[in-house]
Structure 1
Amino acid sequence: MKITMRYGVDAPFWVALLTIIGLVFTLLGMFGSTNGFVLGYGLICLVTGLWMFIYSTTIKIAHREVILNLAQVKAGDELLDVGTGRGLLAISASQRGCKVTATDICSKWDLGGNGKAKLQANIVAENVAAIDIVDADARELPFSDGSFDVVVSNFVVHNIKSIEGRRKAILEMWRVLSPNGRLVISDFSKTSEYIQILNTVSNCVEIKQFFYTFPFSKAIVVKKI
């Protein structure tokens, strides 16, 4: 399985905090405390922090192919990656021969080293075709109706704080999707909201559950008839 730091560590603050707390409490439990709770708490924090790190550097590299397979991407597709980060989905889609547009409002809180410079560096490092990078809010996508054959988004929409904001983002992705196109939204939180919203515009909503991501996640797959 491919291991790389190229696409950043998800939630880097929490990874660092949990790992540090886990190490401290584990050492206290092993050498300085007779309280089993201290050791148990330390091990839980340590395992969680390490799992988050392994997800970011290994698991998500494989998981992106699962997402793109669910989207049934093929060479020549016009694909939009909403909340691209450092290009995890966008670059793989480009490698598959898609014409890719990637949008984001970069936040280093959500993804370590996030930013357009890192995305551009990854495009060069992976030697893929040019990707159209657009600074855009998912709630107001600057594209015409039906512009894309495929729209994908991974661990993004939950970062929008309001229910109304998340609704707008979901419906914007749907708006810019062409007839017979496929939308795949992967996330670990708020997914029941997304399903309810998409059920109002489509009767072809599929849900896939994944227990190897951290946190556990779902992919919502919708075809636009």
Structure 2
Amino acid sequence: MQALFPYGLDAPPVVRNLALCSLACWLVFALSFTHWLPIIINGMQWPALSFGFGAFAMLWSSRYGKLRRREQLLDRLHWRGDEQVLDIGCGRGLLAVAAARRVPGGQVTGVDIWQHEDLSGNGAEAVAANAAREGVAQRVSTRTADMRELPFGDASVDAVVSSAAIHNIYNAEGRARAIDEIARVLRPGGQLLIDDIRHLPQYAARLRAAGFELALQRDARGLFWRLISIGRLAPGTLVGRKPLR
């Protein structure tokens, strides 16, 4: 599993459930050609294909897609090369390791509480292994910490990045606290990048109230997941900068 998904399988329970639903639909479809069912259910091949495609898409994204996307995301920030970077909900170091390659004179710290239902093999040791594999081990460190109570001083980092993490806080008040903490630890003029699958307008409203200049960007990928989730997901990316004063 680690060799196949060095940065983890995203949301393993979701992938499992999609695969099981697909198999169940295929089973009903196959049984419709026998006399074993008391009724005939037509059209089960379509939900079977939809569930199966969803599982395949998540597997592909975990193995290939998110590695490509992380570079596209980080390209949206302007790098000097000496920044102090904070990765919120770093998982297995997807953004942290990539950011470390862009700051040869800086340092990247990843924080997480390592929930395994969010990412397979989630843990600080996985971040260290990936950082070593990509040759940036000396510039990447981790802290076990809740994003709602970051263990860093005010205005102490130059850039904050986060990918598919803040939505895992299930109440709006908690998400607002996490956004406030991000705003607190960023230095004036510091950069922000939040890529997430839900609640982006809420994040944007909170940050704009704190004076941030922001752009909310959506693309075809977001439209795909919005359609396949019947509107439950609304992926996008917030890119912004903290005011100088």
Structure 1 length normalisation: TM-score? 0.92
Whole-angstrom distance in 2 between the partners of 1:4 and 1:75: 31
Residue 129 (structure 1) aligns with: 137
Cα contact 1:205–1:222 (8 A) shared by 2: yes
Q: Deviations over 1:7-54 (max 9, x none)?
A: 00111111022113213423542x332633311111111011111111
- Pairwise CA distance, 1:4: 5.2
Pairwise CA distance, 1:216: 5.2
* Alpha carbons 2:212, 2:242 under 8 Å: kept: no
Pairing partner for 1:155 from 164, 171, 180: 164
Deviates more, 1:80-89 or 1:109-118: 109-118
* 1:1-225 map, 5 Å: 5-29=5-29, 31-33=30-32, 35-97=41-103, 98-130=106-138, 131-202=140-211, 204-212=213-221, 214=225, 217-225=235-243
- CA RMSD across the alignment: 1.8
Distance in 2 (CA, whole Å) between partners of 1:44 and 1:195 is 32
Whole-Å separation in 2 of the counterparts to 1:129 and 1:120? 7
Return the letter of the residue paired with 2:236: K
SS in 2 for 1:178: strand
Listed one character per residue, the Cα deviations across residues 116-141 of structure 1 (whole Å, up to 9, x for unaligned) are 12111112222213212111110111
Return closer, same or farther for 1:159/1:223 CA change in 2, 3 Å cut-off. Answer: same
Contact 1:105/1:135, CA 8 A, preserved across alignment: yes
The 1-side partners of 2:242 and 2:62 are apart by: 31
Q: Larger Rg: 1 or 2?
A: 2
The 2-side partners of 1:166 and 1:44 are apart by 31
Match for 1:212: what amino acid?
Answer: R
Kept in 1: contact 2:194–2:237 (CA 8 A): yes
Contact kept? 2:128, 2:137, Cα under 8 Å? no
Equivalent pairs, count: 222
Q: Which amino acid aligns with 1:42?
A: A
**TM-score (norm. length: structure 2):** 0.85
Question: Which moved further from structure 2: 210-219 or 173-182?
Answer: 210-219
Report the CA distance between 1:164 and its aligned residue: 1.1
Kept in 1: contact 2:147–2:178 (CA 8 A): yes
Q: Conserved in 1, the CA contact under 8 Å of 2:28 and 2:41?
A: no
